[in-house]
């Protein structure tokens, strides 16, 4: 039997399927949260890609996020393909209300992309965990440290050590670039910076462990 009918059928069917997918299968927005008009099967990916190509970022100038929150909305949703969506919150009070409404529920559980991003370096840290038993144990231990009194006293030390981490990574980036490499290990850096932050808070002075990290 001649394969011609199959070839013709595929040639006609594939464009038709593509048109149906792009025209009728669209991201479904969460009700009540502002978003850009949905004009593509890919959601906001084409706009974000264009912003990155044009401006180099989606956060400055006329980038996606700047244009989104220019309307004054405290929340905005972004569509990543036909099914995945992200919700950005620009209002600190809204974010505090959501996170402090009670124990973390699946409605505001850690996202898969965040868990994946941090699990390689701090797999047992709260930022890498879903709301499982280990997360709950960590939460019980850290709860006394999350009061406004302790947070205000710890913020300067935490910020100072965060700046040290940035300085360390900038130094490592320069070093790997000078050798023609493209990446470096940062697993121990988190441990050293955490130790420096702890000693800053408890002893009043950092032991500068990050300086031993091979920068």
Q: Measured between alpha carbons, how far is 11 from 23 in angstroms, rounded to an integer?
A: 19
pLDDT digits (tens, 9 = 90+) for 48-103: 888 888 877 777 767 777 777 777 777 888 888 777 778 888 777 777 776 666 55
Sequence-distant (6+) residues with CB within 8 A of 171 are: 215
The H or E element containing residue 51 is helix 45-55
Any idea where the domains of the chain sit in the sequence? 28-90, 102-146, 147-212
pLDDT at 168 over 80: yes
CA dihedral sign of residues 163, 118, 209, 195: positive
Going by pLDDT thresholds of 50, 70 and 90, the confidence category of residue 11 is low
Say which residue, 2 or 61, is predicted with more confidence. 61
pLDDT digits (tens, 9 = 90+) for 68-78: 777 777 788 88
Which residues on adjacent β-strands are paired with residue 78? 86
Do 32 and 76 touch, CB atoms closer than 8 A? Answer: no
Going by pLDDT thresholds of 50, 70 and 90, the confidence category of residue 21 is low
């Amino acid at each position: 039997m001649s394969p011609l009918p199959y070839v013709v059928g595929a040639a006609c069917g594939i464009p038709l399927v593509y048109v149906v997918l792009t025209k009728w299968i669209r991201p479904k927005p969460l009700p009540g949260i502002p978003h850009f008009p949905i004009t593509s099967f890919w959601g906001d990916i084409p706009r974000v890609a264009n912003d990155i190509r044009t401006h180099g970022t989606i956060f400055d100038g006329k980038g996606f996020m700047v244009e989104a929150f220019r309307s004054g909305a405290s929340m905005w949703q972004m569509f990543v393909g036909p099914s995945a969506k992200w919700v950005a919150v620009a209002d600190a009070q809204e974010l505090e209300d959501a996170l402090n409404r009670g124990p973390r529920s699946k409605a505001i559980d850690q996202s898969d992309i965040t868990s994946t991003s941090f699990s390689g370096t701090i797999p047992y840290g709260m930022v890498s965990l879903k709301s499982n038993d280990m997360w709950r144990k960590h939460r019980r231990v850290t709860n006394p440290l999350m009061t406004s009194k302790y947070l205000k006293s710890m913020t300067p030390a935490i910020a100072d050590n965060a700046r040290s981490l940035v300085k360390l990574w900038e130094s490592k980036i320069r070093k790997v670039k000078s050798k023609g490499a493209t990446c470096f290990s940062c697993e121990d850096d988190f441990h050293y910076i955490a130790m420096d932050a702890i000693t800053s808070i408890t002893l009043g002075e950092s032991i500068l462990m990050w300086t031993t990290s091979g920068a």
